[in-house]
Structure 1
């Protein structure tokens, strides 16, 4: 099987698992001081516990030490869930969510699936949306980093805003509700003041919520190795959340394969 995972995904995967091995280095080579009475008496020295030996280890040796991690050959599939939700104080709820999954079947073929959902529901037309036309939140769209960026800009009171991105190993990941085989979805209220949309395209994934009180977006561009989450809230009593979860699925390894990997790692550490 060959999966085209981005370098960012593999790097985050390795960082999540973390090295299980360890190495110790000492700054000095001196041994602990011993009691002169013990060193003067051979019989006493025979009863003395063996002194701890300290071996200096250079940085170039430590740099080659390896631990256990999830390599690309262990990954048999993934499930990517993205969801953005905005709740205004007048009861309007905007939601955009989607799932992209890839898995290996019994004959080694990789199958993919995508589903999306966008909705704008509820609300009282006469109630206050909490928007503040005098508040300004801008500049977050221009932030660009290599990796994951999470930006929250708030101008108002009693607001709740959350950006979260999680990578884990879960062979029974939940798939979000949505229309199957639909790469995009969009919705809005009758006046067009609240909009929700999500798109899975060749250039990546885009999620956007637009309300009178601000903007919530998520953008994933594999070509640039970038994941960006942005919240801009200009109002009061707003509840907003961006969430991304990447569940990496691992293939089962036989006991013989596990032993072989253990021997290989031991040989690599000695080398």
Structure 2
């Protein structure tokens, strides 16, 4: 690691988004699991916040969870392998974004994806408005889906006979964690997170200030 002095930093150029430029955001999270017997689990939710002209912040949240399908035959229909193990990912702690995929089996598909961009026209996911949590389960409790938005952050979890999928956002320690653990065959699993930042139009006075600043920089 090499220290960088003020003289070097003073000559650096580029663009960045200052805190005053961000007027709102839309956060979408979704986790889904498809088992080979036709059973599926889904948990998704959206949190949006926007600053109005008076500087007041308004927010809304929606969540949805479902478990459906699946044959009622022997346990092997789920593709789970009781002799396979995928574990240890829960103990990993990272300040920032972590994406962990652990697989023990064949012909599986698992993806973790996270996107952060600037988008003033982002859409929220479908779900009941002002519902901070949702959960679902099959009749035996072997397949579960749940999601919750709370003061401690966001938690998404899918549990199946062939493993689990989780997403956790913990603002208190700056962590975003995506975890897939698959112990079986022919499983299709995905975690996805999208954070769309919204910006407000610059005022005339701000544009004038930037113009003066650029003119002064060009005279150096």
TM-score by length of 1: 0.75
Q: What residue number does 2:9 align with?
A: 63
CA separation in 2, counterparts of 1:263 and 1:206? 46
Within-5 A mapping of 1:47-126: 60-64=6-10, 65-126=12-73
Q: Secondary structure at the match of 1:223?
A: helix
Q: What residue number does 2:149 align with?
A: 200
Moved more, 242-251 or 120-129: 120-129
Question: 1:188 is matched with which residue: 119, 137, 141?
Answer: 137
Q: What residue number does 1:140 align with?
A: 89
**Residues 94-128 of structure 1 deviation map (CA, whole Å, 9 limit, x = unaligned):** 00000011011233211000010000012222271
Q: What residue number does 2:201 align with?
A: 252
CA separation in 2, counterparts of 1:222 and 1:260? 34
CA separation in 1, counterparts of 2:114 and 2:16? 20
Gaps of 5+ in 1: 1-57
Count, aligned residues: 214
CA separation in 1, counterparts of 2:41 and 2:68? 7
Within-5 A mapping of 1:165-244: 165-244=114-193
CA separation in 2, counterparts of 1:155 and 1:91? 20
Contact 1:97–1:117, Cα closer than 8 Å, also in 2 = yes
RMSD: 1.9
User: Which of structures 1 and 2 has the larger relative contact order (alpha carbons within 8 angstroms, sep 6+)?
Assistant: 2
CA separation in 1, counterparts of 2:209 and 2:106? 59
Q: What residue number does 1:43 align with?
A: none
Q: Could you say which structure has the higher strand fraction?
A: 2
Q: What residue number does 1:52 align with?
A: none
**Residues 80-103 of structure 1 deviation map (CA, whole Å, 9 limit, x = unaligned):** 000000000111110000001101
CA distance change for structure 1 residues 108 and 229 in 2, over 3 Å: closer, same or farther?
same
Q: Secondary structure at the match of 2:78?
A: coil
Q: Secondary structure at the match of 2:212?
A: helix
Q: What residue number does 1:7 align with?
A: none
Gaps of 5+ in 2: none
CA distance change for structure 1 residues 167 and 131 in 2, over 3 Å: closer, same or farther?
same
Contact 1:66–1:269, Cα closer than 8 Å, also in 2 = no
TM-score by length of 2: 0.91
CA separation in 2, counterparts of 1:67 and 1:211? 47
Shift of 1:68: 1.2
Shift of 1:234: 0.3
